[in-house]
C-alpha cells in the first residue's frame, strides 16, 4: 500500500506487477474498495502488467471531505488524473466497475490523451444510463434504491443497524463468503465512511450525465444479464456513445459483482482489450 495526494487529500493505492509493465488503473465501486480487484490483478501481473488500484474519494481515510459537493464528478475525475500524474503515467489502460465505471467513462471522454483503452464493468456510458432511466420503466424500478441512498442520515442508520445487516445484504447473490463481505463492510463502519461513500449518490447530477462526452478510445463494456441494478436497455445503448473500436460482452447468469464472481474472466477481457488496441 502506498499513497498519493490530490486536492489536499491523501489516497491509498495498491500497486503491483512488473515495474516496467504497461500501466492499468482499476477503479472500484460502491460499497467496495480497491480490494475488489485483488483476484483480478494476479493474472494481470502474470501477463506482465503494472496495476494501480486506489481507494477512491470517501473510501481512503485521508480523503473524506464533508461536503456533498466535494463528491461531484469533476472532483472524482480529477482524483484519477492526479493518480496518473503522481506516478508519472502519461497515460494508462483504464478499468472501472460500478461507480468506478462512471468515473472511467467521464475520464476517457474528457481526457482521451490519458487513456489507452477502457474496460467498463456493469455501468454503461452515463448518457446510455440516463436515457434508460428516463425511457425504460424497468430501469427506473431497478434504480429506486438510489432515492433511498440520497436520504442523508436515514440511509446511514438503516444500512448500519444491527451490525450493518442491510449493507451486507447488498451482496446477496454474489457468492462472496462472509469474510469477503466483511472486507468491504467493516471499513464503511468507521466514523464518517459510509456517509462519504453515499455522498457519491447525493452529488450525482443528471446534467453531468447528459453532458458526458462520447468515448474515442478502444472500449470493452461488460454486463451480466443477472445484474439487479442495471438492465438491458442501458447496456444495449452503450455502444452508441463510443466512437472507436467497441466490444459489448454479455455474461450469462452472473450478478453485479463481476470482479468478485469471475476474476479470471474479467482479467482475460481486460488483457484482450489492452492487447487489441
Q: What is the sign of the dihedral through the CA atoms of 7, 9, 10 and 13?
A: negative
Query: Look-up: residue for cell 477502457?
Result: 118
**Taking all residues of the chain, what is their mean pLDDT, rounded to a whole number?**
97
* Mean pLDDT of the 129-141 span: 97
- Extract the C-alpha cell encoding 203: 452529488
Q: What are phi and psi of 257, to 5 degrees?
A: -95, 60
Question: Rg (Cα) of the chain, in Å, rounded?
Answer: 17
Residues 6 or more apart in contact with residue 171 via CB below 8 angstroms: 181, 184, 257
Give pTM, 2 decimals.
0.98
b/e code 91-129 from CB counts within 10 Å (16+ = b): bbbbbbbbbbbbbbbbbbbbbbebbbbbbbbbbbbbbbb
pLDDT for residue 37: 98
Distance CA 43, CA 268 (A): 8
C-alpha to C-alpha distances, 150 to 79, 102, 121, 146, 224, nearest whole angstrom = 23, 18, 23, 6, 26
Active site residues: 98, 201, 256
pLDDT at 1: 81
How confident is the model over 79-112, as pLDDT tens digits? 999 999 999 999 999 999 999 999 999 999 999 9
Give the Cα separation of 237 and 171 in Å (integer).
26
Q: How confident is the model at residue 173 (pLDDT cuts 50, 70, 90)?
A: confident
Nearest to 112 by CA among 214, 265, 232, 4: 214
Q: Mean pLDDT across the stretch 7-33?
A: 97
Spatial CA neighbour of 215 closest among 139, 103, 133: 103
| CB-CB contact of 230 with 258 (8 Å) | no
Q: Quick: pLDDT tens for 233-259.
A: 999 999 999 999 999 999 999 999 999
Domains of the chain: 2-276 (3.40.50.1820)
pLDDT-based confidence at residue 267 (cuts at 50, 70, 90): very high
- Residue 250: count of CB within 10 angstroms of its CB: 13
Q: What is the pLDDT of residues 24-42, one digit of tens each?
A: 999 999 999 999 999 999 9
Q: Does the pLDDT value for residue 130 go beyond 90?
A: yes
Whether 277 shows a pLDDT value over 90: the answer reads no
Amino acid at each position: 500500500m502506498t499513497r498519493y495526494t490530490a486536492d489536499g487529500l491523501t489516497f491509498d493505492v495498491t500497486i503491483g506487477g512488473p515495474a516496467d509493465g504497461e500501466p492499468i488503473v482499476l477503479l472500484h465501486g460502491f460499497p467496495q474498495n480497491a480490494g475488489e480487484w485483488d483476484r483480478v490483478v494476479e493474472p494481470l501481473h502474470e501477463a506482465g502488467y503494472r496495476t494501480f488500484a486506489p481507494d477512491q474519494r470517501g473510501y481512503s481515510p485521508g480523503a473524506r471531505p464533508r461536503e456533498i459537493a466535494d463528491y461531484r464528478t469533476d472532483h472524482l475525475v480529477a482524483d484519477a488524473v492526479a493518480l496518473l500524474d503522481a506516478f508519472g503515467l502519461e497515460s494508462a489502460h483504464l478499468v472501472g466497475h460500478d461507480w468506478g465505471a462512471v468515473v472511467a467513462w467521464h475520464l476517457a471522454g474528457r481526457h482521451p490523451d490519458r487513456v489507452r483503452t477502457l474496460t467498463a464493468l456493469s455501468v454503461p456510458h452515463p448518457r446510455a444510463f440516463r436515457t434508460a432511466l428516463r425511457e425504460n420503466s424497468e430501469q427506473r424500478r431497478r434504480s429506486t434504491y438510489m432515492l433511498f441512498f440520497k436520504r442523508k442520515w436515514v440511509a446511514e442508520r438503516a444500512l448500519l443497524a444491527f451490525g450493518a445487516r442491510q449493507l451486507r445484504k447488498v451482496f446477496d447473490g454474489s457468492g462472496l463468503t462472509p469474510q469477503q463481505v466483511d472486507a468491504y463492510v467493516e471499513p464503511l463502519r468507521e466514523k464518517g465512511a459510509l456517509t462519504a461513500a453515499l455522498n457519491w449518490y447525493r452529488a450525482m447530477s443528471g446534467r453531468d450525465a447528459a453532458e458526458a462526452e462520447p468515448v474515442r478510445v478502444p472500449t470493452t463494456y461488460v454486463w451480466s444479464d443477472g445484474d439487479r441494478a442495471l438492465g438491458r436497455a442501458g447496456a444495449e445503448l452503450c455502444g452508441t456513445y463510443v466512437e472507436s473500436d467497441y466490444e459489448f460482452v454479455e455474461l450469462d447468469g452472473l450478478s453485479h459483482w463481476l470482479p468478485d464472481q469471475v476474476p479470471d474472466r474479467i482479467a482475460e477481457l481486460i488483457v484482450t482489450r489492452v492487447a487489441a488496441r
